[in-house]
Amino acid sequence: HPDSMLQLLSQGELDFVAMGDLRNADLADLSRRPLFHMSSNLLMAATHPLARASNLSIADLVDSIFVGVWRHDLTERTVLSAFARHGLAAPSMIDCDNFLVTRGLVLDEGCLVIANRLFFERELANGSIVERVIPDLTYDIAYAMFHRKETVLGRATVALMDQLRQAAVDRFSEYITLT
């Protein structure tokens, strides 16, 4: 969970973390090394009744249950504002900060999630989860590596950070925008 990683980073337990750039967190004491931008889209189990439709609208999702990957995050704000803009009641939402539970809720219970391919890469590849782009429910996340400003990073740490950036580029080049 991002909050746990940031706490460990601030306590000096971690040299750096790679994660989405949290807009709602105070990151003033951290230095940021940009990685890439990636869109988050609507994901659902391939067995979900709406999975067969290639063109979905917000109105199609009224009776759906959304699960949030992190508490009070961009996903929740995106879903709530999209439904409000269309004059629709807010959908049911499950607040979950455990990714494994979120995966289970999507695959086994028919919940919907807004997330990016990084989290569901295996399921997207094997066809058990499908992705749908609904402009009102799509948002872009900037990913970065963070470290404490006062910390001098060793050569090995910097080399590892460079390798992680290159691995992300190599693996997800068709889905990311470099920063």
Contact 43, 112 (CB under 8 A): yes
Mean pLDDT along residues 112-124: 89
**How many whole angstroms separate alpha carbon 16 and alpha carbon 32?**
10
Quote the tokens at residue 92.
Answer: 């049911």
Mean pLDDT along residues 99-110: 92
pLDDT at 162: 93
Q: What is the 3-state secondary structure (H, E, C) of 67-96?
A: EECCCCCHHHHHHHHHHHHCCCCCCEEEEC
Residue 57 pLDDT grade (very low, low, confident, very high; cuts 50, 70, 90): very high
134 has a pLDDT exceeding 80: yes
> The whole model's pTM is what?
0.79
Contact 174, 121 (CB under 8 A): no
**Which of 81-85, 99-103, 114-118, 175-179 is predicted least confidently?**
175-179
Q: Which residues, 6+ apart, have CB-to-CB distance to 44 below 8 Å?
A: 50, 51, 106, 110, 111, 112, 113, 129, 130, 132
Quote the tokens at residue 127.
Answer: 């066809």
The three-class DSSP label of residue 32 is strand
